[in-house]
Amino acid sequence: MDESSEISADMPVRQGLTFDLDVDICVIGGGLAGLTMALESARQGASVALLEGRTIGWNASSHNLGTVMPGFGVPASDLIERVGFEDARELWTLAQEGADYVRATAAPMPGIALSEGALEVSHVDAGDELISQLQTMGEDFGTEIEGWQADRVREVLKTDRYFHAIHFPKAFQIDARTYVRGLAALAESAGVRIFEDTPVVSIDPAGIRKRVFTPSAKLRCDSVVLAGNAHLGAPSQRLTATLLPTWRYAALTEPLGTQLLHTVVFRGSVIDSHGIDHFRVVDGDRLLWSSPETTWQGDPRRYAKRIQSRIAATFPELGLVTIADSWNGMFGQTVHGMPQIGELQPGLWVLSGFGRQGLNTTAMGGQLLARSILAGDDRWRLFSPFELVWAGGSAGRIAGQAIDMWTRSHSAAAGALSRFRERARERELAREYAREARIASAKAQASIARQHASAAMHDERRGPGA
């Protein structure tokens, strides 16, 4: 979303903090992570204040595509390589608990528009990779998944861009904004005090009671949770510097009628395996699509044109669709791709770095930290191998953008190569069929000729008048 644009009018406006306050837990940041953390802490009996610098969910949390996937933004095989099989499986189980939490919490919310299933499509023809992913995620980690061959994928997505896919029947999607609003309402009814327009400008984490400063008040608490994503800023510049801020752009088309329903038959979310395009059909016949990313904040209208071209390149039958709305949201990416969850020093906690896959992982992180602070659950230590690594400052942003561009062009080239190979295979097959058809026809003609010759000889032997 453009920073200047407003959250919709039906979102209740909450007052800023203008008086000093004492609570058990202070959560900084009112996105998905902070809201889940605050809600779960209040449910366990803590007094909680949530301080939000702007309005609840104004950034990525209300502007994502609402796809709830299992696992993390990094492949299961990378996790195993980093932390070993047993810990990787435990992390995967935690992430699944996050997805289950979102489903259970969202399902009763009016207008949540819950729908089922997601397809991770590959635009390269790499069947071996598919089999190894099915083995790790399906058999080793117990995630319900199916491998789909290219023919099946192309029955539901009319494009030659995609080859095989992994189908996640238990993944689902929700309306992100409704979920954020619902979480905030649940948190307030559980007793959380939410203050908007209340940026935290500094914290003093020394001592048993921590102090949190805002422009017009100060707050004292036993535990502080930093859930500000890459916008955190002043309260911990060093923590902020461990995240690469990344803006992702999304657009919603005008209604596209029956052509869309013939072209995109699959009704869940579609995500390509390189994390470049992500889309689904909403409101019956509109496409919700997110794609380009930048490490600086760009104008969503400009990137809407890029989305328009990506739709046309993926589904030529749709042509240049009309875009009704476009926006962006920023998320923080860690160097290792895993979220930052844990205790930085006694009573100071971090809950951040959820990247492109924040719905299940913020839910997992919020629940986990609430249990850690209030019930001594120490499974947050599973995240310790993923240290707080400096993301490289402005050089990191340039490198991040270069890597993103390289990934996109590399992936486009790999996709083009796979399609070229597929067409070459088809041409080769067609030539093979033609050759066989020619041989069969020559054989048939030879056999007819032989039959004619033998009939003629037969007639000759019988002589004239026979």
Q: Nearest-CA neighbor of 104 among 302, 407, 466, 360? A: 360
Report the alpha-carbon distance of residue 71 to residue 359 in Å, rounded.
11
As a whole number of Å, the end-to-end CA separation of the chain is 97
DSSP code, position 246: E
410: left (phi over 0), alpha (psi -120 to 50) or beta: alpha
Cα–Cα distance for residue pair 279/65, rounded to 1 Å: 8
Shorter beta-carbon distance to ligand FAD: residue 403 or 414: 403
Greatest Cα pair distance in the chain:
127
Q: Which is nearer to ligand FAD, 3 or 460 (CB)?
A: 3
Q: In the bound complex, what is the minimum distance in angstroms from residue 338's beta carbon to ligand FAD?
A: 12
Structure tokens at 393: 């400052």
- CA-nearest of 177, 174, 230, 237 to 203 is 237
Smallest separation (angstroms) from ligand FAD to the CB of 376: 24
From the list 41, 67, 308, 334, which residue makes contact with ligand FAD (rule: CB under 6 A)?
Answer: 67
| Per CB under 6 A, 248 contacts ligand FAD | yes
Encoded tokens for 429: 């097959």
> Does 228 engage in binding with ligand FAD (CB under 6 A)?
yes
Question: Which of 40, 41, 42, 53 lies at the binding interface for ligand FAD (CB under 6 A)?
Answer: 53
Q: How far apart are CA 88 and CA 96, in angstroms?
A: 12
Residue 401 — φ and ψ, nearest 5°? -65, -40
Segment near ligand FAD (CB under 6 A), from 87-95, 113-121, 133-141, 349-357?
349-357
Nearer to ligand FAD, 329 or 396 (CB): 329
**Phi, psi at 215, each rounded to 5°:** -60, -30
Binding mask 76-115 for ligand FAD (x = CB under 6 A): ----------------------------------------
Specify whether the CB–CB gap between 358 and 61 falls below 8 A: yes
How remote is the C-alpha of 451 from its chain's centroid? 68
- Single residue of 23, 227, 348, 350 touching ligand FAD by CB under 6 A: 227
Interacting span for ligand FAD (CB under 6 A) from 23-31, 260-268, 401-409, 411-419: 23-31
Query: Cα(357)–Cα(83) distance, rounded to whole angstroms?
Result: 20
* Candidate segments 90-98, 119-127, 225-233, 305-313, binder of ligand FAD by CB under 6 A: 225-233
Q: Does 66 bind ligand FAD (CB under 6 A)?
A: yes
**Closer CB to ligand FAD, 235 or 347, in the complex:** 235
Q: Does 362 bind ligand FAD (CB under 6 A)?
A: yes
Judged by CB under 6 A, which stretch of 133-141, 355-363, 382-390, 403-411 contacts ligand FAD? 355-363
- Regarding 61 and contact with ligand FAD (CB under 6 A), the answer is yes
**Residue 245, strand partner residues:** 332
Among 25, 27, 34, 388, binds ligand FAD (CB under 6 A): 34
Please identify, using beta-carbon distances, which residue of 194 and 200 lies nearer to ligand FAD. 200
Name the nearest CA neighbour of 272 among 263, 283, 280, 261. 280
Binder among 41, 290, 295, 308 for ligand FAD (CB under 6 A): 290
CB of 147 to ligand FAD, least distance (A): 22
* Amino acid (1-letter code) at residue 89: R
Q: Which of 327, 280, 269, 323 is nearest to 63 (CA)?
A: 327
Q: Given the rule CB under 6 A, which residues bind ligand FAD? A: 28-34, 51-54, 58-61, 63-67, 199-200, 227-229, 231-233, 235, 248, 250, 290, 329, 331, 352, 354-359, 362
